[in-house]
Amino acid sequence: MQIHESAENYLETILVLSRRNGQVRSIDIAGELAFSKPSVSVAMKNLRTNGYIAVDNDGYITLLEKGRAIAEKIYERHTLISDWLVRLGVDPEIAAEDACRIEHVISEESFEAIKSHASPQAEA
């Protein structure tokens, strides 16, 4: 399940927007990421062709099983790392930016170690 960082970002954005708005279209993704509509259109075509998303006749985007798995994994990494950095005293905006970079390159082993250490249960 190895895909490029940009595809992971698109999938994560689709997940976040679908949770926030219920439905997602390419224009929503372009607005959220401040990308051009043509760039998003090309990315959506690639994600659709590779079986990560489905797009209906009205242009609404749905994560397919393998796309959702990646999106949820990246989103979990982002939120946990961002929250952890904030608890360590990092400014929330900087923490979110750093988490966005870290979430794509951290190994599963390192993430699981941070997760077990940073979880609220570990602090109890």
User: Phi then psi for 55, rounded to 5 degrees?
Assistant: -125, 125
Specify the CATH number of the domain 5-69: 1.10.10.10
CA-only gyration radius of the chain, Å: 15
| CATH number among 1.10.10.10, 1.10.60.10, 2.30.29.30, 3.60.21.10, domain 73-118 | 1.10.60.10
Which of 4-8, 10-14, 57-61, 80-84 shows the lowest per-residue confidence on average (mean pLDDT)?
Answer: 4-8
pLDDT in tens, 44-103: 999 999 999 999 999 999 999 999 999 999 999 999 999 999 999 999 999 999 998 999
Cα dihedral 12→72→43→45 (10° resolution): -140
- Tens of pLDDT, residue by residue over 36-49, are 999 999 999 999 99
Instruction: Identify whether the C-beta of residue 28 lies closer than 8 Å to the C-beta of residue 21.
Output: yes
Q: Please check whether the two domains, 5-69 and 73-118, share a CATH topology.
A: no
